[in-house]
Structure 1
Amino acid sequence: MRHALPLALAALILGGCSSHKPEDYNGTWINQAAIDDAAKGGSLRQALAANGPVSEVRVDVASQQASYLYNGYENVNGRLRLSDKQWQVDFDGGPSAPLQLKGKELVTVTEGGKEQAFSKALTPAAADTPVGSTFEKALYGAYLGGNWKIIEGTGKGETVQFSDTGSVTGLPGPNRYALCLGGDCATMGGTNDSLWLERDQRGAPFIFKHSGDQLEIFQAINRAQPDEMPQLAPGPRQWLLERS
């Protein structure tokens, strides 16, 4: 049976082998590499896949807890412990993952031996917000921020703004949106990027293509049989937007 080290003892041990204090690990850490890659204006799925699978890590040394968001939807909680003068996160039913500070980045190793680095979020996440919400907010702002003009489609000439909190203005009809970052919506979309548009809690999925400063939004056509999981493919183009 493992026994967690008291925080004071952990601080004493770390103080002798590292310039980092235990509290330096505290906070919300986001996958900035994935955000920067997506912000170039290409495939969101490819950016997340190339820089994943973890998009956010939240660490609380005092309670010896760490939480990871895997594959855009899976929240995994672990327990912090000190082993051979290095922090480890133990997950129920799974392997442990090391935590290490390298400069200003938090580094961990995920399944398959992939090393991932995370940047500390400038604004700490509130305790009641789900793990992944800080990454999502930063991603939304980087990927769809700015002013978009409707070049083709209903509302041509209108200015569209996608907020980093999931609201959208200027598109005829919807006032909320959500990007598909993983889970069933990603499976249903196949190799396509998809998003959800709604108003008054009624909405539908759409396929989109982001290329530089242009954003195409297509109707989503379900090619699956009634008893199968939906398989969404791009149908007629609904809107062509251009970022100014």
Structure 2
Amino acid sequence: MTNINRESHVSIMDISFINTTKDKLLNEHLYPKLNNGEKCFIVTANPEIVIKTKEKPNYKKIVQSADIVVPDGVGIVIASKHKKQPIHKRIPGFDLMLDLLYYANEEQLSVYFLGAQDDINEKAVKEVKKRFPNVKIAGYHHGFFKGLEAEIAKEVQNANADLVFVALGSPQQEQWIYNNINQFSKGLFMGVGGSFDVLSGESKRAPKTWIKLNLEWLYRLLKQPFRWKRILKVLEFMLRIFLKKE
């Protein structure tokens, strides 16, 4: 893990979350790493991901190996307050990705987009070209490449991008980064889940009011009822926190 003051972290179920604001995370940690050409593995973790680390020891090892674990989920913030080590605020992974794209646009950095369905991946890249014209598109590829793992990894390596956004869903996206990051000399690597769907316009984020009230999870559930199993994972997380005091 990168050398960040341990006092600025909160441990929840053995996962060490950075405890800072989004602006400080960007300005004090991520932008300097991009400027210096350093490697960085970012996990944006919500309660569902934390529960997965309890269920899968190998996945736990992967998440713990990340340079920065970001609290993406109001349940993480609630858990930190219960531990009397309050995290400043939830840092949504989608917002963090957008801020990094804005910075890449300002600094003319290169970005690789890996994951999602073929049409969604292409639409997301097209949207980036429109909204961030100075971003250099290092490459892009959909997330269905079973049997071609080595070839895709080599393609991403050859692109030599400053940022690599991986939208394979958890735990696959973190597994991909963990398996391949040592082959790179630079790059900020971040799993972004379904962010390409939102970026492409295929899915809509919750209205700002819902986000401000930390109800984005409820909006998603109402729009996508099939996500109910994910909500069960959140409930399991909260029960573990409040009943077992993990």
TM over 0.5: no
Of the two, which has the highest radius of gyration?
Answer: 1
Higher helix share: 2
The two structures have a TM-score, normalised by structure 1, of 0.25
Higher relative contact order (CA 8 A, sep 6+): 2
